[in-house]
Amino acid sequence: DWYQVTRVSEDISLIREKYVATWLRCNIWHLRGKNYDLLIDSGMGLRPLKREIAILSEKPVTVISTHCHFDHIGGAHEFECRLGHQLEEALHREPNYEDSGIAEFVRAETFLALPDREFHYQDYVVKPAPLTGYLDEGDVIDLGDRVFQVLHLPGHSPGSIALYEMKTSTLFSGDAIYDGQLFDTVYHSDKAIYRESLRRLRELDVETVHGGHYESFGRQRMIEIIDDYLAGRGAMGDAGSWVASQLKK
C-alpha cells in the first residue's frame, strides 16, 4: 500500500506516495479521458506505479512530466508514451545528474517506511526515461472529452510546463506554483524568469489550481502566493537549510 489514491472528481484522482515525507512527495495526477488517460508526473519511482493506474482505468496512459526533477519523474520509465519540454530532454535521459537535488532531499528522514527490505536512501537513483515526444507553449492535449492547453512557465526549471483547461478554468501547475514555499534555487533555476512566469499566472483566469505538491487551491490563494513571492517572501532559499527546518517540525 505504498500509494494513496484519492478521488478528486469523477475523472481526476490524486495519487501520493504516502510513506514519503509530506515536504517532498509530489502530487501524481491521474486524469481519465474518453480516448486515453493522462498521468501528470510520476513520483519518485520507489514502487511500481503502472499497476496502480491499471486499477483505476484500462485505457492507454500518456505520462506528462511537468519538469525534470527527480521527485516528479521516477515512475515515468514504466510507461511507453512520455512527454515533456525539449529543453529538459537531456535530464530525462540522465536524471541522476550532479546538482539534481537528490543529495539534499533524500535522507533517512525522508521516509516513514521503506519501499522494500533492500532499500537504502544513499543508493536511491532514478531510472532513465527519455522523452518520446515534446510539449511546448500552445500545444493542445485532447483526451476526447477534455482539452488542455500547454503553458511553458520557466523559472523553477527551464522546461517547466503546466496544463490549463479553459472550459473549467483548471490548472495543473507542476512546480510552477503550489501552496508552499516556492523553490527557485536549483542550479538551473532563474529567478528573474520565474517572476515573469508568476506574473503571467496572476493574470490567468483560474478557478482551481492542482499543484505539484501539497493541497489544491483557488484563485485568491494563487494571487496571495504570487504576491508574497514577488514581494520577496515565500521562497524556499537554500535547499539544505530548508530541509533541515522541515525535519525539526
Give pLDDT, residue 214. 97
**What pTM, to 2 d.p., does this model score?**
0.96
pLDDT in the model for residue 244: 87
pLDDT category, 237, cuts 50, 70, 90? confident
Please state the φ and ψ torsions of residue 82, each to the nearest 5 degrees.
-130, 115
Question: How far, in Å, CA of 188 to CA of 224, rounded?
Answer: 25
107-160 pLDDT tens trace: 999 999 999 999 999 999 999 999 999 999 999 999 999 999 999 999 999 999
| Torsion angle of C-alpha atoms 14, 75, 26, 140, degrees rounded to 10 | -70
User: For 187-192, what is the mean pLDDT?
Assistant: 96
- What pLDDT is stored for residue 249 in this prediction? 78
pLDDT digits (tens, 9 = 90+) for 161-178: 999 999 999 999 999 999
Looking at residue 239, its pLDDT comes to 84
What is the DSSP annotation of 91-117? Answer: HHHS-S-TTSSHHHH-SGGGBSS-SST
Q: Which of 31, 76, 71, 29 is nearest to 50 (CA)?
A: 76
C-alpha cell at 80: 511507453
